[in-house]
Structure 1
Amino acid sequence: MKAHVNGTVIAEAPESELITIEGNWYFPPSSIVPGMLTESPTPYTCPWKGECQYFTVTVDGQSLPDRAWSYPTPYPSGIARVGKDFSNYVAFWKEVTVSE
């Protein structure tokens, strides 16, 4: 699976290594292309997953604020609910397309 913006790959991993949560594909941290994400100050805490870290996606000089997110330290009950530890896995939205 690949996460990409206008053909530029941001993350790539076999589907077996991804985790699906609420319809979003979460990529393992090791699959993220270095330099594509920078931490965003946007705060959010999911009631069942925990504190979220948003990222700005930067591709070809274009910054896309808050188009990626992860949960650095998800709640233990959230990990139990998902059935896998999704700490630091990254999901994407809007201009970022996920495809095979």
Structure 2
Amino acid sequence: MPKAYWIARVDVTDPDRYAEYMALGPAALIGNGGRLLSRGGRAVALEGGEPRQRNVVIEFDSMEAALACHDSPEYRAAREKRAGAAEVEILIVEGLD
């Protein structure tokens, strides 16, 4: 079964409220099987628009595991803290077999 990669692109609009998300979000991702591969480091746009402030890549064992994490009670609680604190795009892509 191919792995899956959660790609999040984030512009923080309220740092204080976003800190509340950060207190819960990474632990919820890791606790639900995610492995943080990149989180907020340097990003360079080679084509298309500029990268967001934070670009995150998280590996999961499968697409189903990544989707289950997003819908988990722990991550839902983290998302509630993030609401209104950031502009967020999340995409989950399946890896190669």
Q: Pick the structure with more strand per residue.
A: 1
TM-score, structure 2 as length reference: 0.27
Structure with greater contact order relative to length (CA < 8 Å, sep ≥ 6) = 2
Q: Pick the structure with more helix per residue.
A: 2
TM-score, structure 1 as length reference: 0.26
